[in-house]
Amino acid sequence: MAEHGAVTRNVRWRRIAPPIVGLAVLVLIIAWLAGSFEKKIAPGRDEVERRLAPGTALDITHEVTKPTIDEVIGTLKAANRTLVSSRVLATIESIEVAAGEQVRRGDVLVRLDDRELRARLDQAQQSVASARAVGVESKRAYSRSKPLFDKNVLSRSELDRAESAFRVAQAKQLQAEQAVREAEVMLSYATVAAPKSGRIVDRLAEPGDVARPGVPLLVLYDAASLRLEAPVPERLAVRMKPGDRLTVYVDATDTEIEATIDEIVPQADTPSRSFLVKVSLPRSESLYEGMFGRLRIPAGERRHLCIDERAVHRVGQLEFVDVVRDDDTLERRYVKIGRAGDDGRVEVLGGLAAGERVVVGKATDETAG
């Protein structure tokens, strides 16, 4: 029995030994990969002393007060925008202009098929000729009736009938002449002319299309009436009034333009809490409707720190400066930079205090021995 028990224990050990050995090996491998058998470096900070080299250029962080300009995004739109359409129903024969062309008042823009209108004019003219012939004949009859009435050859009623026929013939002649004038006007509508000078910005029809009264064929705007329309926050809009002069920056042309407030819509947009402000722009051949522009609005003054732009070093998206301590040692410090000025200085939003000295350019390190 003892011998049998020993055999059973050996069998069990042979079964569980490989997994135990494998697990132990796996633990050792994980420990080795984690650096458990490497020499540890105690946590802490190794300071390398950097000192200011003689003759190094320095700048002092100082506080300045500058006017604040807020930018509001807007779009160029024409104050005078005209939809050109036909007054008659007719087929378009030709369109004489293309989008982007400059036209003058009275220039022909569209020609319509005028055959039907000419036929109406010819019919009206023939009606005039017929009415005139009837008028001449009735006038002669009336002229002959008067002497006969004076001689008591004709009765009064016969004279009245002759006079009435003459008057009716005159009225019909005037009516026919009026119809001719109307037909002439309708014929003139077959040629669509520019109602004012301006630029064609859109072409909505092509030759062969049917022009219908009131349906736009072309879009025309006056380039001298361009305005920038921008939603201005109410905190700024309440201090503005028509006639104030502002500056508009147009990104596409990289130009600043002097503008005048033309209109302030007296109703705030509820979701954005803003008022629509329209500023008129001077005429320019380089500006077009729909362009993107920035309305620059004075928003008071603000105080901020600034340093020489050459003191700022950049590594990727990080910005830092070398600050000189009181003992002339250097400290590399991360800062947050704002807007750049025209005088070679930049705004400091964080990381520095007023009066601190910074190194301009590249600092020379001196490591203490």
What's the confidence (pLDDT) of residue 277? 92
Helix (H) and strand (E) counts in the chain: 4, 21
Model pLDDT for residues 254-290, shown as the tens digit of each residue: 889 899 998 888 888 888 888 999 999 888 878 888 8
Is the pLDDT at 369 greater than 50, yes or no?
no
Give Cα separations from 34 to 22, 27, 292 (angstroms).
Answer: 18, 11, 58
Task: Read off the pTM.
Answer: 0.53
Model pLDDT for residues 97-141, shown as the tens digit of each residue: 988 888 899 999 999 998 988 898 898 888 888 888 887 888 777
Is the pLDDT at 160 greater than 80, yes or no?
no
Q: Tell me the pLDDT band of 201, cut-offs 50, 70 and 90.
A: confident
What's the confidence (pLDDT) of residue 295? 92
Task: Give the whole-number percent of the chain exceeding pLDDT 90.
Answer: 14
Most confident segment among 13-27, 44-58, 189-203: 189-203
CB 176 within 8 A of CB 170: no
- The full DSSP string for 39-70 is PPPPSS-----BBPPTT--EEE-EEEEEEEEE
When comparing pLDDT for 5 and 119, which is higher? 119
Is the pLDDT at 168 greater than 70, yes or no?
yes
Mean of pLDDT over the chain? 83
CA distance 166 to 144: 12
Nearest to 198 by CA among 132, 111, 102: 102
What's the confidence (pLDDT) of residue 9? 65
Buried b (16+ CB within 10 A) or exposed e, 124-135: bbebbeebeebb
